[in-house]
Structure 1
C-alpha cells in the first residue's frame, strides 16, 4: 500500500487555536482610524461596545485594545490581507489623521509593514490564491528574544504545553516556531543586542489538555492569575531544567469549554462603501472556497 501523505503535517499539538493579542492603547479614536479604517478590520459588534475597550476581528482571531498606557510588543505581528494594493490606498487616505504619532509604512517585495500610532508593527502579506487559503487573519505573533534562547523556548512549549515547536534557522535568523492552531504560530526570534522591557502585552490560546500545563506551572510558582474555571494565566517562559527565565509574554490559557471557544466572528467586506455598495455582500468570507 502506498503512503503518499505526511500525516504528521496535519498534527496541531496541544495548542488548538490562537485567539487574540491584547495591547493597551491610549486613544480609541486613533485606534479606530488605524485598525478599522486603515487596516480594514471589523469591530466586534457584540462584545466591548463602549469607549474603554475595542475588540477587533481579523478572520478567526482578534486584537484586544483596552484603553490605557500603550503596550508595545517587542517584535511584530504577521497578518494576511486580501489585497496589499487596497490596504496601501486605505493607509494613504488615513495618513493625515495619524500625523504626529509613531505611524510608519514600509514596503518590501513580500509585505507591507505598518507601525501603529503607538509602535506595534504589523507585517501585512497578500493572501495566497490557493483554494482553502486564508484571505484575512493573523499568521503569527513574533517576540524578539536573546541570542541562544530559541531552542530552550521551543523545548518549554513542547514539554510543558505539549505543543509542536521547532527551531528554524533561515534568512530571518534563528526563531522558535510554536504551532498555535491551524496555520498559526507563536514565534520567538533571536535578536542581538539589548531587548526592550516587557510592557504587558498578552496572547490568548486554547488547549486540549488544559490541566497538565497548569500543574507544571503551579508547582513552580509560575501561575499569575486564577481567572476562572475555564482560564488561567502565566507569563514567564523558563528553561525546563534550570528554571531561568528565557523571555516574558503573558499567556491567557483557555480550555475548550471556555464560552468563547469556537465563537463565530463577524468580518465585513471592506470594499463595501457608501459609494460602492452591493446589497447582500456585507459579510467577508475570510477563507477561500
Structure 2
C-alpha cells in the first residue's frame, strides 16, 4: 500500500492506494461524515464522476433540496457529506440577548463555539466516523474509551450504539451494533487508522502498556516507535490497535489509533 494525503479544513486524510492488483481495498464497516465547503460544487461534478467511475462501487443517493449528500466511493466506503452552511441555520439574529457575557454567548447552543458546530470549530473536515461492531459489544467498547482514555461517552442503549467524543463540537466516533456484520467486513478494516490528540498522554500510555496494548506499526517505524516511554516522549506519539473487553481481556475490535499529546507539533 502507498498513501495519498489530502487536506480538508484543519484535518488530513491519508488514503491508501494499492501497489499491486492483489491488494484488498480498505473499507470502513460503517460510514464517514464529512463537512465540505460546498455541496453545490460537488453536485456539479457528479455526472462526470459517474462516467469516469462507471463499473466501480461508486454511487450517489441525492436529494437536491437537502444539505446532505450520501456517496459511496469506488471501493464501497460510504460518506455522508454535510454542507458547511448548515451551521448558519443555528445562528440567532441577536445572539447577545442570551447573556451579557461574551464567552457564554460563544459557547451557547447557537454560538460560534457551540456543540452543533461542524467538524473542527465550524470548518470543513471529518465530522464523525461510524464503525459497525458485533452485537453485544458496544457497552464494552464504551467502557474501554471511558475508563482507559478518559473520553466522554454517550450510550444509546435502545439502539445498541455509543458515541465517543474525540474532539471539539460533534467530532466523534460512533460505534453501532450490526447483526449483519461479517468477518470479511472486519478484515477489510485492517490498516484503517485514525489520529487522536489527548490531554493525559503519559497516564494513558502507562494504562495501555499495563494491558500490553501499546503497538509499534512496522509500516511506520521511519516515523515513530513506542516500545518504551522514552521513545514515546521523543516522538510524542504512541499507537494501539486492539480494543478490549476490560472485564474479560477479550479483543473486541481492531482499529489503529495514532495517539498524540496536545503539545504535538502537528
Aligned to 1:256: 262
Are the equivalent residues in 1 in contact too, given 2:165–2:172 (CA < 8 A)? yes
Please give the secondary structure, in 2, of the residue aligned with 1:53.
strand
Given candidates 29, 47, 53, the residue that maps to 1:74 is 29
Deviation at 1:110, TM superposition (A): 6.6
Deviation at 1:101, TM superposition (A): 1.7
Q: Which has the higher helix share?
A: 2
Aligned to 1:55: 5
Are the equivalent residues in 1 in contact too, given 2:132–2:181 (CA < 8 A)? no
Given candidates 180, 184, 194, the residue that maps to 2:166 is 180
Please give the secondary structure, in 2, of the residue aligned with 1:63.
strand
Deviation at 1:53, TM superposition (A): 3.2
- The superposition leaves residues 102-135 of structure 1 with CA deviations (integer Å, 9 ceiling, x where unpaired) of 2111135573111111221111122311453425
TM score, norm. by length of structure 1:
0.66
Please give the secondary structure, in 2, of the residue aligned with 1:188.
strand
* 1:209 pairs with 2:213: no
Aligned to 1:237: 243
Deviation at 1:231, TM superposition (A): 0.7
Task: Tell me, in whole angstroms, the C-alpha distance in 2 between the residues paired with 1:125 and 1:73.
Answer: 19
Aligned to 2:151: 163
Deviation at 1:59, TM superposition (A): 1.5
Q: How many residues align?
A: 208
TM score, norm. by length of structure 2:
0.72
Task: Tell me, in whole angstroms, the C-alpha distance in 2 between the residues paired with 1:91 and 1:213.
Answer: 44
Task: Tell me, in whole angstroms, the C-alpha distance in 1 between the residues paired with 2:141 and 2:67.
Answer: 27
CA 1:67–1:193: 2 relative to 1, 3 Å: closer
Task: Tell me, in whole angstroms, the C-alpha distance in 2 between the residues paired with 1:96 and 1:178.
Answer: 38
Aligned to 1:283: none
Please give the secondary structure, in 2, of the residue aligned with 1:154.
helix
Aligned to 1:95: 50
Task: Tell me, in whole angstroms, the C-alpha distance in 1 between the residues paired with 2:263 and 2:123.
Answer: 28
Are the equivalent residues in 1 in contact too, given 2:190–2:255 (CA < 8 A)? no
- The superposition leaves residues 154-184 of structure 1 with CA deviations (integer Å, 9 ceiling, x where unpaired) of 11101000110111257xx332101011120
